[in-house]
Structure 1
Amino acid sequence: MSILCEVTAVEPLACHTYRIVLKPQQAVRYQPGQYVMAVMGEKDKRPFSLASSPCRQNGGELELHVGAADENPFALEVVEKAKAVLESGEAGFEITEPAGDAWLRESDRPLLLIAGGTGFSYVRSMVDHCISQKIQSPIFIYWGARTPCQLYAHDEMQALAEQHPHITFMPVVEQAEGEWRGKVGNVLEAVMEDFVSLGAYDIYIAGRFEMAGVARDMFCKERGVSRDHLYSDAFAFI
């Protein structure tokens, strides 16, 4: 079943990344960490994680983060469609019902949330949900990007971590620029350096399929992780 939405905002975040805010014709029920498909044609549906949590207006407002560099028409076309629908003022942006099995489980275990690029939207949904539900389990957020510019919510996440002592935010870039003082390198290697064991954690991963595959191999073989506590929608395809 498809859902028609109005587009209430299309805003640049940073480095060819856009925030698209949707108002569905009816409230949408979903779990934090699920995704929707932007329907571009009968056989053309493109997946994007929901950056909003189900708590936002009880599913009455949805948010997508779309990385749309010029060389990525797959995403850029979605942004252009959202802009056109915004200008029309009509409910002309079509999405599928939320899907995905790597949604946030209820648990007392500490959380390790790992994102690459705009995979951060997946993590953001979970963080917002945990804060709104006053979940106090330790939360470690590792966000990897090529350059600091691509960490479009860096300051916002730093502020959240300062406000909530149980949240730790660790941004990692491959190429340091300007006055960057954070971690430099690969985000998975940063996790491996910081944790001797991960067996006690629930781990959620969003990023390129190859990244999820490498994480699964490393964490299970070298850090004592059980696959029962490791979640990524990429695992359904690799």
Structure 2
Amino acid sequence: MTFQVTVQPSGHQFSCEADETVLAAAIRAGVGLPYGCKNGACGSCKGKVVAGKVEHKAHQQRALTPEEEAAGLSLFCCATTNADLVIEAREVAGSSDYPIKKMPSRVTTIEKVAPDVVVLTLQLPASERLHYRAGQYIEILLRDNKRRSYSMAGASADGGPVSLHIRHLPGGLFTDQVFGTLKERDILRFEGPMGTFFLREDSDKPVVLLASGTGFAPLKAIVEHMISEKSPRPITLYWGGRRPQDLYMDALCRQWAADLPQFTYVPVVSEALPEDAWSGRTGFVHQAVIADLPDLSGHQVYACGAPVMVDSAHRDFVQLCQLPSDEFYADAFTTEADLAK
């Protein structure tokens, strides 16, 4: 059966099949509901069910607590329905501007930039173009219908290579392959672009970029997009890692800071060893933001990395720094281990 979903306050409507999630139906219809992981782990697609009822597939309680569900909130990425719905969600303009498509790609380089991080470069077929918004991601298509999501680490490829930053998770279905058997000229298939984590260009507010680990990848794309567009908006990048080696493109960030008067770079290390000889900022990266910018009421924040960092930043920036909640944009990186929790 087919049901109708109405989105408030826009009034947009789309059809949803009985076995289809609300988010999947919205994407199919070109309706820009916010989303990130698509598997019930990050909470980006959370909205309210105003009328009707949904059933949730497996998801993390961190993303949708029982109390939130009882209050009528829903994770649309894992919500199905057997009746017409009215939902409330903040739609994202421009999220469906570029069509999602599947395509093959050829591995051109596998560059190890840290002990557990490689930059994987994929060349598209000569006849294909991948247009996307800086900050979006693709899904690598694996065996048995499994997928792994990675943000694109550069501005729109437009026929050029796609760059991904991949951290090794021992035992990971895809990362073991990348760090073990994958070689140049191998073929990988992917689908994209996906996600609603990208720069809101209808604002002139200063931008705070907050990354942990390879969460730097989509923020790098956003910075490069802003540079190419000659955006005058002030940008402050906070990048956190356990040790200095985790800030695997530190030199590039320092070069941006030297070349761009509107760009500030703050590296933060939480677990430096004596042999690292680290003399910079220490502690949790989001707490460095709080120390430097106690008033975020006039800023936009784009955060990407471990879910615990993203959740802590959202909570503390809103509660302690007066950041409007709807000016916090996030892409929480989730792993198989996260999904099992």
TM-score, normalization: structure 2? 0.64
1 or 2, which has the higher helix percentage? 1
Matched residue, 1:142: 238
Q: Deviations over 1:3-27 (max 9, x none)?
A: 1101111110012100001112211
Answering whether residue 140 of structure 2 is matched by residue 38 of structure 1, we say: yes
Which of 112-121 and 23-32 deviates more?
A: 23-32
> Residues 38, 82 of structure 1: CA spacing in aligned structure 2 closer, same or farther, 3 A cutoff?
farther
The whole-number CA distance in structure 2 between the counterparts of 1:156 and 1:27 is: 27
Matched residue, 1:103: 198
The whole-number CA distance in structure 1 between the counterparts of 2:331 and 2:216 is: 14
Q: Deviations over 1:100-148 (max 9, x none)?
A: 1111110211100000000000110001111111112110000000000
CA shift for structure 1 position 150:
0.9
Q: Deviations over 1:123-179 (max 9, x none)?
A: 100011111111121100000000001110011110110111110000000122433
Q: Residues 158-169 of structure 1 correspond to what in structure 2 (within 5 A)?
A: 158-169=254-265
Q: Which runs of 5+ in 2 are unaligned?
A: 1-100, 334-338
The whole-number CA distance in structure 2 between the counterparts of 1:16 and 1:121 is: 15
Q: Which structure would you say has the larger Rg?
A: 2
Structure showing greater relative contact order (alpha-carbon pairs closer than 8 Å, 6 or more residues apart): 1
Answering whether residue 149 of structure 2 is matched by residue 50 of structure 1, we say: no
CA shift for structure 1 position 78:
4.6
Q: Deviations over 1:16-49 (max 9, x none)?
A: 1000011122110110100111111242101111
CA shift for structure 1 position 223:
0.9
Matched residue, 2:252: 156
The whole-number CA distance in structure 1 between the counterparts of 2:181 and 2:135 is: 22
Query: Does the CA contact (< 8 Å) of 1:113 and 1:205 recur in 2?
Result: yes
Q: Percent identity?
A: 31
Q: Deviations over 1:178-237 (max 9, x none)?
A: 3322101100111111111111111101011122111111111111111221101349x9
The whole-number CA distance in structure 2 between the counterparts of 1:145 and 1:176 is: 9
Counterpart selection for 2:302 from 181, 201, 204: 204
Query: Does the CA contact (< 8 Å) of 1:65 and 1:118 recur in 2?
Result: yes
> Residues 13, 75 of structure 1: CA spacing in aligned structure 2 closer, same or farther, 3 A cutoff?
farther
Matched residue, 1:28: 130
> Residues 183, 149 of structure 1: CA spacing in aligned structure 2 closer, same or farther, 3 A cutoff?
same
Matched residue, 1:18: 118
Q: Which amino acid aligns with 1:214?
A: S
**Secondary structure of the corresponding residue to residue 4 of structure 1:** strand
TM-score, normalization: structure 1? 0.90
Query: Does the CA contact (< 8 Å) of 1:67 and 1:75 recur in 2?
Result: no
CA shift for structure 1 position 74:
4.2
- RMSD of equivalent CA atoms: 1.9
Matched residue, 1:76: 175
Q: Which amino acid aligns with 2:119?
A: R
**Secondary structure of the corresponding residue to residue 194 of structure 2:** coil
**Secondary structure of the corresponding residue to residue 156 of structure 1:** helix
> Residues 109, 72 of structure 1: CA spacing in aligned structure 2 closer, same or farther, 3 A cutoff?
farther
The whole-number CA distance in structure 1 between the counterparts of 2:244 and 2:332 is: 25
Query: Does the CA contact (< 8 Å) of 1:50 and 1:122 recur in 2?
Result: yes
**Secondary structure of the corresponding residue to residue 83 of structure 1:** coil
Q: Which amino acid aligns with 1:96?
A: E
Q: Which amino acid aligns with 2:145?
A: K
Query: Does the CA contact (< 8 Å) of 2:168 and 2:179 recur in 1?
Result: no
Matched residue, 1:131: 227
The whole-number CA distance in structure 2 between the counterparts of 1:81 and 1:137 is: 42
> Residues 72, 140 of structure 1: CA spacing in aligned structure 2 closer, same or farther, 3 A cutoff?
farther
Q: Which amino acid aligns with 1:198?
A: L
Matched residue, 2:107: 7
